[in-house]
Copies of this chain bind each other. A is one copy, B any other.
Amino acid sequence: MVDIIHRVGIKAPISKVYAALATVEGIAGWWTTETKGVSKPGGNIETRFLSLSGKEIGSMAFEVLELDPDKKVRWRVTSGPEEWIGTDVVFNLTQDGEYTIVLFGHKNWREAVEFTSHCSMKWAIFMLSLKELVETGKGRPSPHDIKIDNWN
């Protein structure tokens, strides 16, 4: 199995970072504006990714597996790109001085393919967006995300 892993430190209380990960409104502020569903254990969240002109370029759905306040959020991908289905997206939170540390993982890819490399880079972009959202009040969710290659 292959994992994408990233670490960011956010200068904010852990509860603020948790809220950005554990609520639909929070997720819409850093990942994609087109986020809906129910963020509670067993609930489902749907995300759509649009181009700036409004064309859909992708969509995904997740089951919320864990919501451990101020500690952990875990989703399981139930639909979306074929390589994503059955993988887990995990956020582990800890406090380190004035920083909330986010250990991000997109875990259990069957193999490392070129699309994995693309997604690793895009998750880094969205972790930056999460940091900006919590620290400044304004993230860069899709369709306003930084574009990194010819795929997005």
- A136 interfacial contact with B, CB 8 Å: no
Q: Is the CB of A117 within 8 A of B5?
A: yes
Q: Is the CB of B131 within 8 A of A99?
A: no
Contacts A112-B3, A124-B125, A125-B124; is A8 near B99 (CB within 8 Å)? no
Known pairs A4-B120, A6-B121; list 15 more (Cβ under 8 Å).
Answer: A5-B112, A6-B124, A7-B118, A7-B120, A7-B121, A7-B149, A8-B121, A9-B149, A9-B151, A104-B117, A120-B120, A121-B124, A127-B148, A128-B146, A128-B148
User: Can you name 18 A-B pairs with beta carbons within 8 Å?
Assistant: A3-B112, A4-B120, A6-B121, A6-B124, A7-B117, A7-B118, A9-B148, A9-B149, A9-B151, A96-B150, A99-B149, A99-B150, A101-B150, A103-B117, A120-B124, A121-B124, A128-B146, A131-B148
Minimal beta-carbon separation of A24 from chain B (angstroms):
25
A8 to B60: give the CA distance in the assembly, Å: 22
**In the complex this chain forms, how many copies of it are found?**
2
- A114 interfacial contact with B, CB 8 Å: yes
A residues with a Cβ closer than 8 A to B are 3-9, 96-97, 99, 101, 103-104, 112, 114, 116-118, 120-121, 124-125, 127-128, 131, 146, 148-151
